[in-house]
Chain A
Amino acid sequence: MSVTDGAGPAPAPAEQAIGVPADGMSHHGTAAVSTSGLTKRFRSGQLAVDGIDLHVPTGAVYGFLGPNGSGKTTTIRMLLGLLRPTAGSADLLGRTMPAAAGEVLPRIGALVEGPAFHPYLSGWDNLMRLDAADRTAPAATAKDRVLAALDRVGLTAAAAKRYRHYSLGMRQRLGIAAALLRPRELLVLDEPTNGLDPQGTREVRTLLAELASGGTTVVLSTHLLSEVEQVCTHVGVMHRGRLVAQDSLGALRRQGAARAIVTTTARHEAASVLTRLGMTEVLVSADGAGALLGDQDPAALVAALVHAGVPVTGFGTTGTDLEELFVHLTGEGFDVSG
């Protein structure tokens, strides 16, 4: 687990607790996104982003977590060249931004701070305009691209409808369609499931999993921990403009205190299976056994228990480990950062 340097105004209980030296993250290997000391101080004097070193490995689904106002969106705007960093640098797909914007950005799809389109144009016309704006997109195949993008997010039927008549969920879908107009190497999605109903949320998650399995790197800014746990391989946690934690989800889980709880009559057999799997803090209780989950896959764990002949009548994990970790790191849960 990498923990950023603790100097600064933000209270940093995380550093002492986790106790890993600063800059423990290795920066070698290919990174889809890599920043160094990225800082943004607004003219008002507000320090929105304070020297962060993001590292998103190529192919990762990176959950960018943080309370509202913690600097996630400002960071994303700097990555995409919308804001100029006060200090530090940002590399996207190995090229320095914003200098390489013209070369790099066509390979990146982005949803920044919610969808935004011309209200009096239809969904179709809005996508055609964005396609026309992309000078690397061949004009001859514009209609195919727009059609495919609309189809991918299930908006084909509403293509001719004016954007102003779209529901919040449809707007969000159109925003995702715009990000998917062309095959992308990197997707930067800021709260992509915001405003979607449960069905739409599931569709977006499936879509992300599909894209990720195809090799697309995804940076997913969100404050929904369940979203992170379901789709992300890596996590970065922002708090008051600083990156207070960044690592793979498994490594973060190891830091968390989640326990696996097995309900069974064969309590001691279960405990020995857990021990054999290398799990720690194995305890036998009145109705079963438990241990620290660590980075074990719960499904594989149950399979191993059953394979060893343990009659499993119940299985669960305690708490949301990430949530506990998150509260621990930010010290305030989901409250708005000042």
Chain B
Amino acid sequence: MSAVELEPTAEAGPARTARAAGAFGRLFRSELWLIFGRRRNWVGGLILASVPVLIAVVIKTSGAGEGDSFVFGQITDNGLFVALAALTVELPFFLPIAVSAIAGDAVAGEANLGTLRYLLVTPVDRARLLAVKLGGIAVFTFAAVAVVAGVGALIGLALFGAGDFVTLSGSSLGFWAGLARLALVCCYLTICLVALGAIGLFVSTMTEQPIAAGITVLVVTVVSQILDQLSQLAAIHRFLPTHYWLDYAAVLRDPVNLGDLGPGVASAAAYTAVFAAAAWARFSTADVSS
């Protein structure tokens, strides 16, 4: 009989846990390879990276403008502010587009290609698949934010050098302290955007059309930002997924009060938990007929 020689299933606890972690790691690496090996995503990354380049070149050639905001006004003094300026202008739309596209693709893309059925009969446990997908979205989100910040910092430092890092409070920080603040902003925005990714993962389990899932998430983002503008709706503002995004400005104060980021982190964590759970509830028993 050509029975498979399955590895013993009654392994000791630690060995089994280690192997399970290894198996998770393999699929997770494969997932990252799928995301980062795809040309479409590289093009998206280039578009994200072009914004800080554009900002830096325009300000270098024309000088600082009259009515510039604080962040833009600081660019000529410290190149790191190119990164902050780029994150600020990409946060409402460009970064959400990138996250929505990847999150919408997570399950719906596999369903659309038909590869979902082959993953499931391999078998990949459905909860494990969602965990791997959410992990992939999180890594991609951080990479997208880091590309904008990294390219911005590099071209900013190249064109404007590293002068005083002036905080919103008026004090000056050294180069490394300034860089640390920028890293903190990146982490905060990643947490906020991963919440959007979790919403996308949930939507992605509802359809076989990755584009439709991505657009749905983008619509959620834009509508949330519009509602956040209407003062009549102040009562619901704190429940909107985008409401706390701009709180990263707290990091630019001196001394920095991390407690100011608390509500944003809590909101993002709640959105991530609720929608990851919803995705699981929907997907764990769903009929896969794609």
Chain A, residues 130-148, CB within 8 Å of chain B (1/0): the string is 1011111011000000000
Contacts of B23 in A (CB 8 A): 134-136
Is B4 located at the chain interface by the 8 A CB criterion? Answer: yes
Per the 8 Å Cβ criterion, residues 45-92 of A in contact with B are 77, 80-84
The reply to whether A82 and B39 contact each other, CB–CB distance below 8 Å, is: no
Interface stretch of the complex, out of B114-122, B133-141, B187-195: B114-122
* A6 lies within 8 A of chain B by Cβ: no
Q: Which residues of chain B come closer than 8 Å to A132, judged between CB atoms? A: 26-27, 29-30
- Is A211 within 8 A of B2, CB to CB? yes
Question: Contacts A103-B9, A183-B3, A185-B2 known; A83 to B288 CB distance under 8 Å?
Answer: yes
1/0 contact string of B11-40 vs chain A (CB within 8 Å): 000000001101110110110011001110
* Closest Cβ neighbor of A83 among chain B residues: B287
Verify A139–B287 contact, CB threshold 8 A.
no
B34 engages A84 (CB within 8 Å): no
Asked whether A77 lies within 8 Å of B114 as measured between CB atoms, the reply is no
Residues of A contacting B62 in the complex (Cβ-Cβ under 8 angstroms): none
CA distance A12 to B2 in the complex (A): 40
Given A83-B289, A101-B123, check contact A178 B118 (CB 8 Å): yes
Known contacts A82-B287, A135-B23, A216-B2; A105 and B38 CB within 8 A of each other: no
> Quick check: is A168 within 8 A (CB to CB) of the other chain?
no
Encode B110-149 as 1/0 by CB contact (under 8 A) with A. 0001110111111111001000000000000000000000
Q: Which residues of A contact B113 (CB under 8 A)?
A: 116-119
Distance (whole angstroms) from the CB of B229 to the closest CB of chain A: 40
Within 8 A of A (CB), among B26-75: 26-27, 29-30, 33-34, 37-39
Asked if residues B123 and A120 are in contact (CB atoms below 8 Å), the reply is: no
**Contact between chains at A184 and B4 (CB < 8 Å):** yes
Judge if A182 is at the interface, Cβ distance under 8 Å: yes
Measured between C-beta atoms, what is the minimum distance from B106 to chain A in Å?
14
CA distance A260 to B126 in the complex (A): 54
Binds B, one of A106-114, A194-202, A301-309, A322-330: A106-114
Tell me the A137-182 residues at the B interface (CB within 8 Å): 138-139, 178, 182
B285 lies within 8 A of chain A by Cβ? yes
Q: In B232-290, which residues have CB < 8 Å from any A CB?
A: 285, 287-289
A25 contacts chain B at the CB level, 8 A cutoff? no
Is B230 in contact with chain A by the CB < 8 A criterion?
no
Chain A residues within an 8 Å CB radius of B287:
82-84
Decide yes or no whether B226 CB sits under 8 A from chain A.
no
Asked if A266 is at the interface of the complex by the 8 Å CB criterion, the answer is: no
Contact B123 A106 (CB under 8 A): yes
Q: How far, in angstroms, from A320 to B30 measured CA to CA in the complex?
A: 49
Closest 4 CB pairs of A and B: A116-B114, A135-B23, A105-B123, A215-B1
Q: Give residues in A with beta carbon < 8 Å to B.
A: 77, 80-84, 101-103, 105-108, 110, 112-114, 116-121, 125, 128-130, 132-136, 138-139, 178, 182-185, 211, 214-216
